[in-house]
Amino acid sequence: MRQVHALGVDLQDGLHGRGVPAAARRLRQLLAADCVVLADLDGPVASHGPSPAADEVEGLLAQVFEYGASARTRLPDGGAVCAVPLNVADEIAGALVVSGRPAEADVEAAAALVADCLDHAALRRTRDRIAAADLRTLRAQISPHFVHNALAVIAALVRTDPDRARQLLSDFADYLRYGFAERGDYATVADELEATQTYLELQRARFHDRLDITVRMAPEVLPVAIPFLVVQPIVENAIRHGLERKEGAGHISVSGFGEGPLCVIEIEDDGIGMHPDLARSLLAGTGPESRSVGLANVDQRLRAVYGPEYGLVIETALGEGTKVTVRVPRFTRGVVAQ
């Protein structure tokens, strides 16, 4: 099992990654073969051991790629050279060539294992591309509604309370700097929290201090890496569609804590709430466009990075406020804040 995991690591970047020579060496050891060759559709990309004649390998690869089936030739010493297609997502991505005396069934099993590793690597790269594209979309949709209101509040305070206006202008600059920063796809919970608090202070000024804010974050989750711009869009949704429409004062809380191997972040408001069917449509991306972009985007990015079981959970009812919960692993391979 350890060797299988190591092979997956060797092939995590596909047939052209830096780990492919190590994968060939590992496969040769697993099969006790004289030589192992890994090839893509253009020919061999890595090998380990004394390779068969180049024309013999090329001939076997040509058969495999033309007919989509294994090809085999006998050697004078009683051994054989066997080439097996690597089928990834129902298409041939390359071939595994093995020379020596391994059983044909073992070579077939090894090829299936390599194909699985390549398939997982392709899915991981696809998820990363989706997450990056969704993040670009979210950055492009930072609410013009909020930008306009924040600047209007600051302008109104310039004469009546210049010190606060200067502080809010500084907060606004920090918020924009974070939202449009040229950084990686991940940030720490601490970074997300700082940006969220800045956003909330700007909103508190707009609400003429009718907005009550509670932030509680356990120290053990502050260094956890999570996808960039996860918390703030949920908070923005709570204010725009929960608290803006509520008469009188409103309260919003942001809390985070560890739950075994998980980091849990909860955003809760006492606003007008919504029908549960509407909440489901928002996560599906089929709700009203002005309301669905932020939540659907965050939900999709979480699922793309961590898997389908790690999306948002919304608890709500009309007149009862809304609670949105984010649960993500505290440690995930490849999720590193930069």
In a domain, 338, yes or no: no
Cβ atoms of 135 and 229 closer than 8 Å: yes
Do 89 and 181 share a domain, yes or no?
Answer: no
Q: In 3D, which of 104, 100, 120 has the Cα closest to residue 47?
A: 100
pLDDT band at 252 (very low <50, low <70, confident <90, very high): very high
**Strand positions, DSSP E, 104-235:** 186-188, 211-217, 225-227
Q: Of 1-5, 83-87, 187-191, 305-309, where does mean pLDDT reach its minimum?
A: 1-5
Residues 183 and 296 in one domain: yes
Residues 168 and 118 reside in one and the same domain: no
User: Does 113 lie in the same domain as 156?
Assistant: no
pLDDT value for 266:
96
- 183 in the same domain as 281: yes
CATH number assigned to the domain comprising residue 158 = 3.30.565.10
Same domain, 269 and 169: yes
**Domain end marker among 135, 158, 185:** 135
Instruction: Say whether pLDDT at 140 is over 50.
Output: no
Return the DSSP state at 239: I
The reply to whether 170 and 299 lie within a common domain is yes
In a domain, 108, yes or no: yes
Together in a domain, 193 and 324: yes
Q: What is the CATH number of the domain that holds 43?
A: 3.30.450.40
Secondary structure class of 56 (helix, strand, coil): helix
**Boundary residue ending a domain (116, 135, 154):** 135
pLDDT tens digits for 96-123? 999 988 888 888 888 888 888 887 766 6
Classify residue 62: in a domain, yes or no: yes
Per 3-state DSSP, the chain is made up of helix, strand and coil in percentages (nearest 5) of 50, 25, 25
Tell me the C-alpha distance between 235 and 73, whole Å. Answer: 65
**pLDDT at position 160 over 70:** yes
Same domain for 158 and 128: no
- CB within 8 Å of 238: residues ≥ 6 apart: 252, 267, 268, 269, 271, 322, 324
- 253 DSSP assignment: E
158: which 2 tokens? 């310039």
Residues 183 and 316 in one domain: yes
Under 8 Å between Cβ of 315 and 267: no
Q: How many domains does the chain have?
A: 2
Question: pTM (2 decimals)?
Answer: 0.58
Same domain, 309 and 202: yes
Domain for residue 337, yes or no?
Answer: no
Pick the closest to residue 327 from 259, 268, 281 (CA basis): 259
Average pLDDT over residues 269-277: 89
Statement to judge: residues 151 and 229 lie in one domain: yes
Mean pLDDT, residues 246-261: 91
Q: Locate tokens 């949704």: which residue?
A: 237
Q: What is the dihedral of CA 57, 63, 64, 67, to 10 degrees?
A: 180
Domain that holds residue 278: 141-329
Q: Average pLDDT, stretch 149-158?
A: 80
In a domain, 164, yes or no: yes
